Amino acid sequence: MTDPIRILMCAPDHYDVDYVINPWMEGNIHKSSRDRAVEQWQKLYEVIKGCAIVDLVAPAKGWPDMVFTANAGLVLGKNVVLSRFFHKERQGEEPYFKAWFAENGFTVYELPKDLPFEGAGDALFDREGRWLWAGYGFRSELDSHPYIAEWLDTEVVSLRLIDERFYHLDTCFCPLTGGYLLYYPPAFDAYSNRVIEMRIPPEKRIVVAEPDAVKFACNAVNIHQTIIMNQVSQDLKNRLQAVGFEVIETPLSEFLKAGGAAKCLTLRVTEPILETVHANVPIESRVVHMEGHLLDAGLLNQALDTIVENSGSFRVLNFNLGVERNSVSSAEVRVSAPSHDIMEGIMTQLIELGAVPPPQELCDINTEVVTQAGVAPDDFYVSTIYPTEVRVNCEWMRVENQRMDAAIVVGQTVTGPTATCKLLRDLQVGDRVMVGVEGIRTIKKVESHEAGRKENKEFAFMASGVSSERRVELLVEQVAWEIRKIRDQGGKIVVTAGPVVIHTGGAQHLSHLIREGYVHALLGGNAIAVHDMEQAVMGTSLGVDMQRGIPVRGGHRHHLKVINTIRRYGGIRPAVEAGFIRKGVMYECIKNQVPYCLAGSIRDDGPLPDTEMDLIQAQGRYAELIQGADMILMLSSMLHSIGVGNMTPAGVKMVCVDINPAVVTKLSDRGSVESIGVVTDVGLFLSLLVQQLNHLTQPYSQEQVLV
């Protein structure tokens, strides 16, 4: 014979909506009918009393929400974890509930005062006793879950709430007898929904639609095969009855005004202990250190948002604000995550923001040896565009050949240790590859406010994102100043261009830039060279007369005839030297000794002898030509621009010109965050750029400042 079920309730003698601590309370202050609330509570009491033994805790004046006993604590056997309320409006309830538990023979466990946990409102046992579902995100902290697991010796499964209307787990989640689950999936993040689906088979999951959810259908009391709730649609009622449950509806409208219903008004104090279930919680916590302009640059907010958006939780342990205008701030933040995989994902993103473990916790990195050429260990760290350092021999070492989407290989030479980014295909057996996220940091440039303002004045649009509505002329003027500065200071400008440059009449303008020393390397594909030389020789591009803008008879053959002739000469350089090519982009590259790389593709005609059809060789050559670049102009070539963006380290200015804003969006998605997109015709852009450069008759000097 099983022990009778006991449920704790509290009469609504002092109940009212006196304040706002959840969305349901807004607009309902003092609008709840005391008489109707007493009547509704009494009906619920009678219904539950017919199914279980009801114990009562005396209401205390001044604490109107004490009626919601679900938040008194969490009980298992004769142990209880007392609630630590998040809002001060409810914190005064704690001693009354503590006294009741003590008087009734429970061992009371109390969390640290600054660690919120709101009892059975945010912690619900699987009705088979297999584990404890525990919510976090609004009222309870993830860091409370390890305490609960230890004190109650139970497995805790953490779920993150993301809809403020469902601020407690029991408002959107109700475990039922027989392993069934009544829940509202949109109240949880994607990770939590995956966890739920892994634990509960499809035939046991009863999904609640929003109309039922907002009437708190999930805030139900389940006693054996009986479900007691506020109100339910006929459809949901039919589904529950179909799997063997009896549904009892009892109106609780007055309590909904405070954000509660049947479950909120009750606390089950006879939760059985299963001998086979023991403490197990996969929660992982780490402490990270951040330093820089954490507030004015928004780094701290970005870090905290990153933690929360990725199912984690945080606590700022220390924060030291820089006291001078140009001083940096520092912070130590404890990060918690519901699993190791989630923690690794969070840490990877925090590293990109400059976060590192405290120095005293860190000496050397974790590495694993490559056992198969071209294959990294499973948990290898994936590099980013940002300057990176790794911890070797208890000292930070800068990673060479920085680029995104590579592995970091740590080695030893006669001059000392080394760390280098290597593509997967370049890994060799015996290489020591960085794994995990410990012992690695990215370096963010810390600038003074004055330096930042000066830089912004000179190249302010670099943080502007995709710009189609702003005047193109203004952007061109700024680009012109910047490339003039780079050229006059001996810097390097790389151009990535597609055939649209030729089709839109931009060939003469790009040729001018090369001739005047504004281009120090050209990256593209087979097509830009083919159509550039087609125009130079035949006056057409894709068979269209570039002067009249109309197709010419037989023009579709022109580019193939040019390819054939270039192949006869043996390449572009011999064709230029022989006088066959006398103008154009490729002509200027040859004449001005500007290196170029044409990367082939499956769609190429010919191809030209100069086109590198080995993709790996082409990528390598691209990477060589990008090294040392101060700016990259990306001109209407999405494929090549994305490839270049992926292999370009942070700090290189990138200007992407395309008629399609999706090109810049794709660059941003791949981490090429230091790029500006100008949505316009590339031929027009180049024409305006040349005009503006012609207006700049004096070499750039440091004293010149844009107005």
Average pLDDT, the chain: 88
When pLDDT is averaged across residues 551-564 and rounded to a whole number, the result is 85
Q: Is 264 a catalytic residue?
A: yes
* pLDDT of amino acid 1: 43
Rounded Cα–Cα distance for residues 570 and 198 (Å): 62
| Residue 405 CA, distance from chain mean position | 17
pLDDT of residue 457 exceeding 90, the answer is: no
Residue 29 binned pLDDT confidence (cut-offs 50, 70, 90): very high
Q: What is the pLDDT of residues 479-498, one digit of tens each?
A: 999 999 999 999 999 999 99
Bridge partners of 368, per DSSP, are 433
pLDDT of residue 361 exceeding 60, the answer is: no
**Based on the number of CB atoms within 10 Å of its own CB, is 393 exposed (0-12), middle (13-18) or buried (19 or more)?**
exposed
* pLDDT of amino acid 362: 56
3 state SS of 494:
strand
Contacts of 603 (CB under 8 A, 6+ apart): none
* pLDDT of amino acid 2: 62
pLDDT of residue 365 exceeding 70, the answer is: no
DSSP 530-549: HHHHHHHHHSEETTEETTT-
Rounded Cα–Cα distance for residues 647 and 494 (Å): 13
Rounded Cα–Cα distance for residues 659 and 386 (Å): 28
Query: At 418, phi and psi to the nearest 5?
Result: -135, 155
Helical (H) or strand (E) element with 334: strand 329-337
- Which is catalytic among the residues 264, 421, 589, 597? 264
Q: Are 145 and 155 in contact (CB under 8 A)?
A: no
Residue 106 binned pLDDT confidence (cut-offs 50, 70, 90): very high
Q: How far is CA 653 from CA 252, 261, 459, 481, 486, in A?
A: 61, 57, 10, 13, 11
Would strands 493-497 and 466-467 be described as parallel, antiparallel, or unpaired?
A: unpaired
Tokens of 423: 């593509």
Tokens of 65: 């929400």
Q: How far is CA 402 from CA 420, 627, 652, 683, in A?
A: 7, 10, 12, 33
3 state SS of 669:
helix
Contacts of 257 (CB under 8 A, 6+ apart): 17, 24, 25, 28, 31, 32
Rounded Cα–Cα distance for residues 452 and 446 (Å): 9
**Of the ranges 28-32, 184-188, 209-213, 343-347, which one carries the lowest mean pLDDT score?**
343-347
Contacts of 470 (CB under 8 A, 6+ apart): 464
Q: What is the pLDDT of residues 440-455, one digit of tens each?
A: 888 765 443 344 444 4
Q: Which of 125, 187, 190 lies closest to 161 in space, CA to CA?
A: 187
Rounded Cα–Cα distance for residues 18 and 34 (Å): 12
Q: What is the pLDDT of residues 122-170, one digit of tens each?
A: 999 998 888 999 999 999 999 999 999 999 999 999 999 999 999 999 9
Contacts of 237 (CB under 8 A, 6+ apart): 247
Tokens of 41: 């509570």
SS (H, E, C) 558-617: HHHHHHHHHHHHCCHHHHHHCCCCCCCHHHHHHHCCCCEEEECCCCCCCCCCCEECCHHH
Q: Are 571 and 609 in contact (CB under 8 A)?
A: yes
* pLDDT of amino acid 174: 98
- Which is catalytic among the residues 10, 51, 168, 531? 168
Sheet strands side by side (includes 173-175): 173-175, 181-183, 205-207
Helical (H) or strand (E) element with 157: strand 156-160
**Based on the number of CB atoms within 10 Å of its own CB, is 213 exposed (0-12), middle (13-18) or buried (19 or more)?**
buried
Rounded Cα–Cα distance for residues 696 and 516 (Å): 13
Q: Is 512 a catalytic residue?
A: no
Rounded Cα–Cα distance for residues 76 and 151 (Å): 10
Q: Are 446 and 356 in contact (CB under 8 A)?
A: no
Residue 461 binned pLDDT confidence (cut-offs 50, 70, 90): very low
Q: What is the pLDDT of residues 637-661, one digit of tens each?
A: 888 888 888 888 888 888 888 888 7
Helical (H) or strand (E) element with 146: helix 145-152
Rounded Cα–Cα distance for residues 404 and 626 (Å): 14
Inter-helix orientation angle 472-488/449-459, to 10°: 110
**Of the ranges 14-18, 163-167, 539-543, which one carries the lowest mean pLDDT score?**
539-543
